[in-house]
A = this chain, B = another copy of it.
């Protein structure tokens, strides 16, 4: 059972091609993984705390946000398979954002000393972790490029394309607005315009993508 979890983590973290994990690696990883269940809305960690280890989302989603109230911004929404806490542990810095479960969720946890031990002894795991962090950096750079000097329309189109899981974005408009750093009425206006153009369908706490290509065309018209 623990091995099954470890194998699943191995599929999620980084790219397999570059560095396949041996059964031995999986055993070592499996020995360290712990499970934690989260209720909807529960706090996983607060901003400013030191990460006690690494989390890997197993089921459900976890929202990373900074600020509160009208000035709340959503940095990222972790999906199953996503990893967090490792960066801040590696750099010995506090977590810059707060993490709340968006749904009922379960996360796997790898304590800091155990994570250290894996990285210090197992090249294949370290190599895989490198590609995992590289993926996240590429995504973050993509996000920066998407935010710089683009109209709200373009930003929203990119956000929907990036966040869609099988053409569904299961987030309320309040959260989507916080992901582009904009107020909800402004976002709503763009969404209704997209809906009028037949690009999306607006549901309750969800967006359905109808015409991916149409959304994509809004971006490549101005590749920034």
Contacts and interface: CB of A to CB of B under 8 A. Distances in A.
Interface residues of A, number: 49
A165 interface: no
B224 A73 contact: yes
A144 B87 contact: no
A37 interface: no
A145 B96 contact: yes
Given A91-B134, A91-B138, A75 B147 contact: no
List of 5 A-B pairs having minimum Cβ-Cβ separation, nearest first: A149-B181, A148-B181, A73-B148, A140-B140, A90-B134
Interface of A: 15, 18-19, 66-67, 71, 73-75, 86-88, 90-91, 93, 96-97, 119-120, 123, 126-127, 129-131, 133-138, 140-145, 147-150, 178-182, 222-224
19 contacts: A66-B145, A67-B223, A75-B141, A87-B134, A88-B138, A90-B134, A93-B138, A97-B145, A119-B127, A119-B130, A120-B127, A126-B126, A129-B130, A136-B137, A137-B137, A137-B140, A140-B144, A147-B147, A148-B180
